[in-house]
Amino acid sequence: MKITSVFQSLLIGFVAAATVLASAADKKPLKVGFAQTGAESAWRTANSESMKAEAAKRGIDLKFSDGLGKQENQIRAIRSFVTQHVDAIVLAPLVETGWDPVLREAKRAGIPVIITDRTIQTADESLYVCFIGSDFLTEGRMAADWLAKKVNGKGRIVELQGTPGSAPANDRRKSFGEAIAKYPELKIIDAQSGDFRRTGGKEVMEAFIKKHGKDIDILYAHNDDMALGAVQAIEEAGLKPGKDIVIVSIDAVREGVQAVVDGKINCTVECNPLFGPKVYDTIQKVIAGEKVERKSFNKDELFDSTNAAAVIATRQY
Ligand code: GYE
């Protein structure tokens, strides 16, 4: 064998070995860090479950962090994902503001960030790759339009708001308020946060009833958990939810839709939490260097007495 062909075969061997190594590296499970807000509602539980189950199905190494309803916990989680050199970070931001410094750290480390569920306000749009979630402004408007029809543009509303500073609370308040402004006799007489929790909904509704008594015609709740807590408060006050007080809510989690079937909630606007598959599809594209949609919204429906019974058996969350 001539010297050059020895080199040639060595070279071929080296390239082959490198290729094997590279494809072994490709097969290393994708490491994804997910900074979840907490576990405040049935919606949230379904969302966490979708993210976990889909990761397991795809062999993705998911680092899941429960923020326990605190932004500082989520910030700490993102920092630890950066230290662990994850391939991508998914953030479901508790509130809209205050993310820029930590997102800058992720960017500096070259880790792509996908924002899911709730939008953020940022001075630098390059700090995240894309957003995947629902359109909360549309949801609030759908709730208002449905309500205006139901009550003929007339009634006194109490509003149970979500977590202060969160995108769904901000947007659902804003678009609902703007939509009912077209009806001079449809008025919000009181509003307070129940933090998207059932206990919060119950407590605030008790206070509303104490303060306004029979003056409440309508409850607008930013999510089903709070509406369900309020249903309990209304019943305990000797009133009939869905009849004495018209209830319109958002999420369409199974228990919410069941309450519509039972006539205790009159309408719930869907907000689909099952976007695990979409999130990982997107991450895989981002890592492969493919272009992804900057903002992708799930399509949401509305359930009332006309269609709730037909879907309850097949409701996935
Ligand atoms: O509507 C509520 C949850 O951000 C869309 O957060 C989510 C909201 C959802 O606690 O139930």
Q: How many angstroms does the Cα of residue 208 sit away from the middle of ligand 1?
A: 22
Q: Which atom of ligand 1 is nearest to the CA of 167?
A: 4
| Tally of CA atoms within 13 A in the half-sphere of 261 that contains its CB | 14
32 lines ligand 1 (CB under 6 A): no
How far apart, in whole angstroms, are the C-alpha atoms of residue 271 and residue 158? 21
Tokens of 51: 């993210």
200 lines ligand 1 (CB under 6 A): no
| SS3 state at 40 | coil
Q: How many angstroms does the Cα of residue 232 sit away from the middle of ligand 1?
A: 20
Residue with token string 């659902």: 172
Write phi, then psi, for 125 (nearest 5 degrees): -65, -15
**148: burial class by Cβ within 10 Å (0-12, 13-18, 19+)?**
middle
300 lines ligand 1 (CB under 6 A): no
196 lines ligand 1 (CB under 6 A): yes
| Per-residue pLDDT of the chain in tens (317 residues, 90 and over written 9) | 455 554 455 445 444 444 444 444 556 899 999 999 999 999 999 999 999 999 999 999 999 999 999 999 999 999 999 999 999 999 999 999 999 999 999 999 999 999 999 999 999 999 999 999 999 999 999 999 999 999 999 999 999 999 999 999 999 999 999 999 999 999 999 999 999 999 999 999 999 999 999 999 999 999 999 999 999 999 999 999 999 999 999 999 999 999 999 999 999 999 999 999 999 999 999 999 999 999 999 988 999 999 999 999 999 99
Report the residue among 95, 253, 271 best suited for mutation to probe ligand 1: largest number of ligand atoms under 8 A from its CB: 271
Q: How many angstroms does the Cα of residue 223 sit away from the middle of ligand 1?
A: 7
DSSP one-letter string for 120-171: ---S-GGG-SEEEE--HHHHHHHHHHHHHHHTTT-EEEEEEE-STT-HHHHH
DSSP one-letter string for 194-206: -TT-HHHHHHHHH
Q: Which atom of ligand 1 is nearest to the CA of 196?
A: 10
How far apart, in whole angstroms, are the C-alpha atoms of residue 153 and residue 184? 8
pTM equals: 0.91
**CB-CB contact of 245 with 217 (8 Å):** yes
Q: How many angstroms does the Cα of residue 166 sit away from the middle of ligand 1?
A: 9
Q: How many angstroms does the Cα of residue 44 sit away from the middle of ligand 1?
A: 6
117 lines ligand 1 (CB under 6 A): yes
How far apart, in whole angstroms, are the C-alpha atoms of residue 187 and residue 170? 18
What is the pLDDT, as a whole number, of residue 300?
87
Report the residue among 40, 41, 272 best suited for mutation to probe ligand 1: largest number of ligand atoms under 8 A from its CB: 41
How far apart, in whole angstroms, are the C-alpha atoms of residue 241 and residue 259? 10
How far apart, in whole angstroms, are the C-alpha atoms of residue 22 and residue 5? 25
271 closest CA partner among 134, 162, 153:
134
Tokens of 68: 């326990």
41 lines ligand 1 (CB under 6 A): yes
Q: How many angstroms does the Cα of residue 196 sit away from the middle of ligand 1?
A: 7
Q: How many angstroms does the Cα of residue 110 sit away from the middle of ligand 1?
A: 30
Classify residue 237 as left (phi > 0), alpha (psi -120 to 50) or beta.
alpha
- Among protein residues, the one whose CA lies closest to atom 8 of ligand 1: 168
Report the residue among 43, 253, 297, 317 best suited for mutation to probe ligand 1: largest number of ligand atoms under 8 A from its CB: 43
Give the Å distances, CA to CA, from 145 to 141, 217, 226, 265. 6, 16, 21, 16
118 lines ligand 1 (CB under 6 A): yes
Ordered by where they begin, the domains of the chain are 31-133+274-298 (3.40.50.2300), 136-271 (3.40.50.2300)
Tokens of 305: 């007495």
Angle at 220 between CA 219 and CA 221, to 5 degrees: 110
